[in-house]
C-alpha cells in the first residue's frame, strides 16, 4: 500500500509539474507552486526529484522523446506504400502536437535556454531514431529511383512536414484570440488543416 501511495504521489507531482511547465515555462514555475497544486509540501517534491532542474529534465526528456520518435514512427506498416507511411507520419505527428500544443514553444525555449542539455538529450535519443531514419531514407531513395516521387532528401521532407504542423499550433492561439474561434470551429479547422498538410506533402513528393 505504501509503495502505491508513493507511486501515486510521484506521478501526481509529474502530472502537475508538466502542466505548469507547459503553461508557464521553466523560469516562472516554482517547486512551491507545484507542491501547492499537488496538495503536498515542498519537501516531498524535493524528496522525489531533488531539484526543479531534475524534475523538469524528467518531463522534458519524456516529451522530447515523444516528439522526436513520432516523426519516424511507422511501426507495423512494413507492407504499406511509402506514401501511406508518410501520410501516417503526418497524422501521428499532427495529433501528437495537437495533444501537446504548448510543447513546441517549450522545446524552442529550451533550445535557446539550455542548448547543451538539449544536445545531451538528442544524443541519448539518437539511437532510437537512427535506425528508423535509415530505413525510411532507404525507402525514399528506392521511390526516387523508381520515379514515383521527385528527388528530395529525407531531411527536406521532414523539415517541411514539421514546419507545417508546428506553425499551425504556434499561431493558433493568436487566431483564436483575434477571430474569436469557438472550440467546435477550432476542431473543424484542425481536421481541415491536417488533410491539407497531407495533400501539400504528397503533392510536394509527386514527380515533375
CA distance 34 to 131: 38
DSSP string, 155-200: HHHHHHHHHHHHHHHHHHHHHHHHHT--HHHHHHHHHHHHHHHHHH
For the four alpha carbons of 78, 92, 162 and 113, in that order, the dihedral sign comes to negative
What's the whole-model pTM score?
Answer: 0.83
> What is the percentage of the chain residues whose pLDDT exceeds 90?
52
**Cβ(150)–Cβ(144) under 8 Å?**
yes
Residue 89 belongs to what H/E stretch? Answer: helix 82-99
pLDDT computed for residue 112 by the predictor = 81
Give the tens place of pLDDT for each residue, 98-107: 998 888 888 8
Q: What is the fold, at CATH topology level, of the domain defined by 56-205? A: Tetracycline Repressor; domain 2 (1.10.357)
- Closest by CA to 72, choosing from 162, 206, 147, is 162
Whole-angstrom CA distances from 56 to 12, 25, 108, 194 are 14, 10, 15, 31
Check whether domain 2-50 has CATH 1.10.10.60, yes or no? yes
And the C-alpha cell for 63? 516529451
DSSP 81: -
Average pLDDT over every residue of 114-129:
76
- Looking at per-residue confidence, does 121 or 7 come out higher? 121
pLDDT in tens, 77-112: 778 899 999 999 999 999 999 998 888 888 888 778
CATH 1.10.10.60 domain locations along the chain:
2-50
pLDDT tens sequence across 132-188: 788 889 999 999 999 999 999 999 999 999 999 999 988 888 888 888 888 899 999
Does the pLDDT of residue 3 top 60, yes or no?
Answer: no
pLDDT at site 164: 94
Backbone angles phi, psi at 67, to 5 degrees: -65, -45
Q: Share the mean pLDDT of the chain.
A: 87
Q: Identify the band that residue 6 occupies on the pLDDT scale cut at 50, 70 and 90.
A: low
Q: What cell was used for 112?
A: 535557446
Q: Is the pLDDT of residue 2 over 50?
A: no
pLDDT at residue 53 tops 70: yes
The b-or-e profile of 72-100 (16+ CB within 10 A means b, else e) is: bbbeeeeeeebbebbbbbbebbbebbbeb
Smallest CA-to-CA distance from 73 within 88, 53, 83 is with 88
pLDDT at residue 155, rounded to an integer: 92
Residues of the chain with CATH 1.10.357.10: 56-205
Number of Cβ atoms within 10 Å of the Cβ of 16: 19
Amino acid at each position: 500500500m505504501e509503495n502505491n501511495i508513493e507511486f501515486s504521489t510521484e506521478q501526481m507531482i509529474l502530472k502537475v509539474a508538466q502542466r505548469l511547465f507547459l503553461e508557464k515555462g521553466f523560469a516562472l514555475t516554482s517547486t512551491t507552486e507545484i507542491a501547492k497544486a499537488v496538495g503536498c509540501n515542498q519537501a516531498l517534491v524535493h524528496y522525489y526529484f531533488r531539484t526543479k532542474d531534475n524534475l523538469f529534465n524528467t518531463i522534458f526528456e519524456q516529451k522530447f522523446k515523444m516528439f522526436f520518435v513520432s516523426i519516424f514512427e511507422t511501426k507495423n506498416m512494413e507492407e504499406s506504400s511509402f506514401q501511406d507511411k508518410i501520410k501516417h507520419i503526418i497524422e501521428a505527428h499532427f495529433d501528437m502536437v495537437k495533444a501537446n500544443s504548448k510543447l513546441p514553444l517549450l522545446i524552442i525555449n529550451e533550445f535557446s535556454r539550455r542548448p547543451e542539455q538539449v544536445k545531451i538529450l538528442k544524443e541519448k535519443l539518437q539511437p532510437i531514431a537512427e535506425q528508423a531514419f535509415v530505413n525510411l531514407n532507404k525507402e525514399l531513395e528506392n521511390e526516387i529511383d523508381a520515379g514515383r516521387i521527385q528527388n528530395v532528401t529525407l531531411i527536406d521532407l521532414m523539415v517541411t512536414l514539421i514546419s507545417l504542423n508546428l506553425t499551425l499550433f504556434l499561431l493558433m492561439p493568436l487566431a483564436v484570440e483575434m477571430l474569436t474561434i469557438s472550440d467546435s470551429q477550432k476542431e473543424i479547422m484542425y481536421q481541415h488543416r491536417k488533410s491539407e498538410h497531407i495533400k501539400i506533402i504528397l503533392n510536394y513528393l509527386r514527380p515533375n
